[in-house]
Amino acid sequence: MDTRPLILACDHRDGTLARKLAAPERGSVRPGPPLTDARIEVSASLRESLERLRRERPEVLVIDPLTPGGLAELGALASSGGDQLPVLLVGEHGDASVLVNRVEGSVPWDLIDRRAHPGEFRLRLERLLRDARLRREVGELRHRASHDDRTDLLRPQAFQDLLQGQFSAALEVGASLALIMVDLDDFGSINKRYDHTVGDAVIERVGAAVRRTLRLEDFAGRLGGDEFAVLLPYAGAPEATRVSERLKDGIVRLSGRWPEFGADLTLSGSFGWAVFDGLQPPSVGDLRLAAERALREAKRRGGNQAVGAHELVVHTSNGSPAPE
């Protein structure tokens, strides 16, 4: 399998682009074979280019558009994810306005004259490849800094920062927000009975079960050890109840024989959730505290269940019960 980065040449015009990219390096502005670490594939029409983008993600797009300035084709390619890729746009001098409209974005673009030497094409592509590689490496570093190595869920501080941001946004527009706190039941006994390899594997699979439960707009974090949290934007009590039940069932389904470790495991979790209704609780700290209290109540009741903060009763200063 060819693992070299892919350059997709969208040769929508007349085949000139394919010939340029395949031309030998005679008279190039620099010696040596270029683009040896990349593979170039050609699509001859907009339809073919769109189909290729749906199947795989190239590192760089080279577009020789059929339409003036390429606006129609660029718009169509953008709808298939092309707006997130570095682009070398082939055109005439007057097409520079298209590039000017793109310079404010974070994805690098470049414009090259259709009459440019093949060596110039390749030099521009090498630069875009370097930029793409650097962007990918920076993105991977940022992901590792904010995501837990074992579960690929958000780290504690990253989750708290996101929770604060989502709460502030919900408060501003009066939207609802649900927070679910999760703790595995009797996880310590697994580490006592088996070595930590088994415990680590359990955390990994629970993390995967959490990720499978989420909607695209939801977020989850590993807060430490066997503690997790799930944030549901624009969600109320019904959604929090449903997601908590799905999480509970997903963890229970992990129970059984783990032959690779010679272990028979019974797994379950306790869940506490709280909802911000657009007005209450008044702060993100209060929301988290309410969810943590509900989690403790779920543990007190024996685990393997979910408790909503609205179910709890607290006592006022004179000792009388009052709803929390």
Q: What superfamily does domain 156-323 belong to in CATH?
A: Reverse transcriptase/Diguanylate cyclase domain (3.30.70.270)
More confident residue, 157 or 115: 157
Least confident window among 18-22, 31-35, 43-47, 232-236: 31-35
Place of tokens 């990918």: 136
* Residue with the larger pLDDT of the pair 107 and 222: 222
Residues whose CB falls within 8 Å of the CB of residue 122, separated by 6 or more in sequence, listed in order: 21, 25, 28, 34, 35
Q: What distance in Å separates the CA atoms of residue 295 and residue 140, rounded to the nearest whole number?
A: 34
Distance, first Cα to last Cα, the chain? 60
Backbone angles phi, psi at 41, to 5 degrees: -125, 150
Q: Which helix (H) or strand (E) holds 184?
A: strand 177-184
Tokens of 239: 């959604």
Hey, what amino acid is at 161?
D
| More confident of the two residues 21 and 2 | 21
- What are φ and ψ of residue 260, in 5° steps? -65, -20
For position 20, what pLDDT does the model report?
81
Q: Is 271 helix (H, G, I), strand (E, B) or coil?
A: strand
Return d(Cα 52, Cα 8) in angstroms, integer. Answer: 8
* Sequence-ordered list of residues with C-beta below 8 angstroms from that of 297, at least 6 positions apart, any chain: 272, 307, 311, 312
Which of 277, 291, 22 has its CA nearest to residue 180?
A: 291
φ and ψ at 31, to 5 degrees? -80, 170
Calculate the dihedral angle through the C-alpha atoms of 121, 126, 132, 133, rounding to the nearest 10 degrees. Answer: 170
If one compares 267 and 61, the residue with the highest pLDDT of the two is 267
Q: By the 8 A CB rule, do 269 and 182 touch?
A: yes
Mean pLDDT of 275-282: 93
Token pair belonging to 137: 């490496």
Torsion angle in degrees (nearest 10) through CA of 77, 83, 89, 93: 110
* Both structure tokens of 89: 């746009």
Domain(s) of CATH 3.40.50.2300: residues in the chain:
6-145
Mean pLDDT of the chain: 85
CA distance 225 to 151: 11
- Cα–Cα distance measured from residue 57 to residue 172, given in angstroms and rounded to the nearest whole number: 37
Q: How far is CA 284 from CA 50, 118, 289, 315, in A?
A: 44, 58, 9, 22
Q: How many CB atoms lie within 10 A of CB 54?
A: 10
Residues 98-114 have a mean pLDDT of 65
Question: What is the reported pTM?
Answer: 0.68
Eight-state DSSP code of residue 176: -
Q: Where in the chain is the domain with CATH 3.30.70.270?
A: 156-323
pLDDT for the residue 82: 64
Nearest to 80 by CA among 46, 32, 110: 46
Assigned CATH class of 6-145? alpha beta
Whole-angstrom Cα distance, residue 35 to residue 51? 24
Q: What percent of the chain has pLDDT over 90?
A: 51
Reported as a single tens digit per residue, the pLDDT across 154-200 is 999 999 999 999 999 999 999 999 999 999 999 999 988 988 899 99
Judge whether 33 and 122 are in contact, CB under 8 Å: no
